[in-house]
Amino acid sequence: MAVPKRRTSRARTRSRRAQWKAQPVQLTRVIVDGKPMLVPLRLRKAAERGLLR
């Protein structure tokens, strides 16, 4: 496993973390109880099985 030879500064660590941005969740259209709904892609099967309200 790679081990850093020296400690990284706070400024360097925080500037690297500041570049990370969350991506919006991809929504898909599903019909639940006869009503069209937008649900996240990972919950599509649960919605089709009737586990969501």
pLDDT digits (tens, 9 = 90+) for 32-52: 888 898 999 999 999 888 887
pTM: 0.50
The residue with greater pLDDT, 51 or 29, is 29
Q: Please report, for the chain, the start and end positions of each structural domain, with discontinuous segments joined by +.
A: 10-49
34, amino acid identity:
G
What pLDDT was estimated at residue 51? Answer: 85
Q: What is the pLDDT of residues 12-24, one digit of tens each?
A: 888 888 888 889 9
Long-range contacts from 4-13, C-beta under 8 angstroms, 24+ separation: none
What pLDDT was estimated at residue 3? Answer: 84
| Whether residue 26 has pLDDT greater than 90 | yes
